């Protein structure tokens, strides 16, 4: 059985993340310093000291989460890990796809930080605050949530943004339509339908201005073929061509994060272990709910890295 590395998305951030790596490993410190320099901002200070509301801002959370993932990767590489030799695939949840591509060498660290800052700013600016919304629908099948979105949109925008697996889907779009979708989902038998405390309707058609901004930004940045294929969020297929990867990243801004299908794809294609590289354990928890046969391991603290390296090298 082969191995895949996965990289977390927004929501996995927490004040203090990455500080233990920076204190323990010079390779990790170098990553945080390079990200700070690329953004002309002491982002590491926000990551380690807060305040939480500043870290949670989309424009900060996205490069911050990437930085922790790449810090862990650099430590593992220093210890002798070769991604190309040990890992069959990489994938990331939403912004985590950029972390995966940085880890696999498609983008440089500095370029990835700048791309994620552009992405975060553009996603925040795409829709006036208060006009968009997202809601988590728990306990309905995807087909039922599709029907709810179709009924709720009625000339507006409401669509599945994230299919996270484990009976959890997130819908996104215009606030009134999303609120109606949450109501209809409850009527249809959802266990819970919860409006989420987010600042914009991510992964919906309302994000088209942000998609346009990313198309422009990605056209200007250097791109290399990844060391191992990336499983794209929007296609659930392995990609290695840099230009196709860029096109799919543009689509991802307005498209669905098909994480349930991604984890299922791993199980169907010979992957036995998923290592989640970076802050938190969200993806590991989802993987266990989607496919109990997969071994899911979260790697973010120094002790996690030590254990992973004993297994991998």
DSSP string, 143-175: HHHHHHHHHHHTTS-EEEEEEEETTEEEEEEEH
Q: Give the pLDDT mean for 147-168.
A: 95
CA separation for the pair 190, 138 (Å, rounded): 6
Kindly give the residue spans of alpha helices, DSSP state H, lying in 8-141: 19-24, 26-39, 43-49, 52-56, 58-78, 83-86, 96-103, 109-125
CA separation for the pair 118, 219 (Å, rounded): 13
Q: Is the pLDDT of residue 271 over 90?
A: yes
Instruction: With beta carbons less than 8 A apart as the criterion, state whether 115 and 98 touch.
Output: yes
Catalytic residue check, 93:
no
Domain ranges across the chain: 2-125+206-312, 132-198
Instruction: With beta carbons less than 8 A apart as the criterion, state whether 219 and 247 touch.
Output: no
Q: Is the pLDDT of residue 74 over 90?
A: yes
Active site residue: 44, 69, 88, 94, which one? 94
Handedness of CA 241, 244, 250, 255 (dihedral sign): negative
pLDDT for residue 16: 98
Instruction: With beta carbons less than 8 A apart as the criterion, state whether 163 and 203 touch.
Output: no
Instruction: With beta carbons less than 8 A apart as the criterion, state whether 209 and 126 touch.
Output: yes
pLDDT grade, residue 276 (50/70/90)? very high
Query: Taking the model in full, what pTM does it have?
Result: 0.96
Active site residue: 44, 203, 204, 284, which one? 203
Q: Does domain 132-198 have CATH number 3.90.1150.10?
A: no
Which tens digit of pLDDT belongs to each residue from 194-241? 999 888 999 999 999 999 999 999 999 999 999 999 999 999 999 999
Catalytic residue check, 172:
no
CA separation for the pair 241, 239 (Å, rounded): 6
pLDDT for residue 210: 98
pLDDT for residue 103: 98
Report helix, strand or coil for 17: coil
Closest by CA position to 133, among listed 153, 163, 155: 153
CA separation for the pair 200, 237 (Å, rounded): 28
Compute the half-sphere exposure of residue 310: CA atoms within 13 Å on the CB side of its CA: 5
pLDDT grade, residue 129 (50/70/90)? confident
CA separation for the pair 180, 80 (Å, rounded): 52
pLDDT for residue 166: 85
May I ask the CATH class of domain 2-125+206-312?
A: alpha beta
């Amino acid at each position: 059985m082969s191995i895949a590395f996965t990289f977390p998305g927004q929501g996995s951030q927490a004040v203090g993340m990455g500080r233990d790596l920076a204190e323990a490993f010079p390779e990790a410190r170098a990553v945080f310093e390079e990200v700070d320099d690329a953004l002309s901002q002491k982002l590491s200070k926000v990551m380690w000291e807060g305040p939480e509301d500043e870290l949670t801002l989309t424009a900060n959370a996205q490069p911050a989460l990437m930085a922790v993932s790449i810090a862990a990767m650099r430590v593992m590489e220093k210890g002798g890990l070769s991604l190309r030799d040990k890992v069959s695939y990489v994938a990331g949840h939403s912004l985590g796809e950029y972390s995966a591509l940085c880890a696999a060498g498609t983008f440089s660290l500095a370029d990835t930080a700048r791309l994620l800052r552009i992405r975060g700013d553009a996603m925040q600016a795409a829709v006036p605050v208060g006009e968009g919304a997202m809601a988590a629908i728990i306990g309905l099948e995807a087909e039922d949530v599709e029907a709810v979105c179709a009924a709720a949109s009625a000339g507006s925008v409401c669509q599945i943004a994230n299919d996270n697996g484990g009976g959890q889907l997130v819908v996104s779009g215009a606030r009134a339509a999303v609120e109606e979708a949450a109501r209809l989902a409850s009527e249809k038998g959802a266990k819970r339908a919860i409006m989420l405390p987010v600042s914009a309707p991510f992964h919906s058609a309302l994000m088209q201005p942000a998609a346009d901004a990313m198309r422009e930004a990605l056209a200007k940045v250097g791109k290399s073929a990844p060391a191992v294929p990336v499983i794209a969020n929007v296609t659930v297929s392995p990609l290695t061509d840099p230009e196709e990867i860029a096109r799919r990243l543009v689509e991802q801004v307005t498209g669905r994060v098909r994480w349930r299908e991604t984890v299922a794809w791993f199980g169907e294609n010979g992957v036995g272990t998923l290592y989640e590289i970076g802050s938190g354990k969200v993806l590991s928890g989802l993987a266990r709910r989607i496919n109990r046969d997969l071994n899911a391991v979260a790697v973010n603290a120094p002790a996690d890295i030590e254990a992973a390296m004993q297994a991998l090298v």
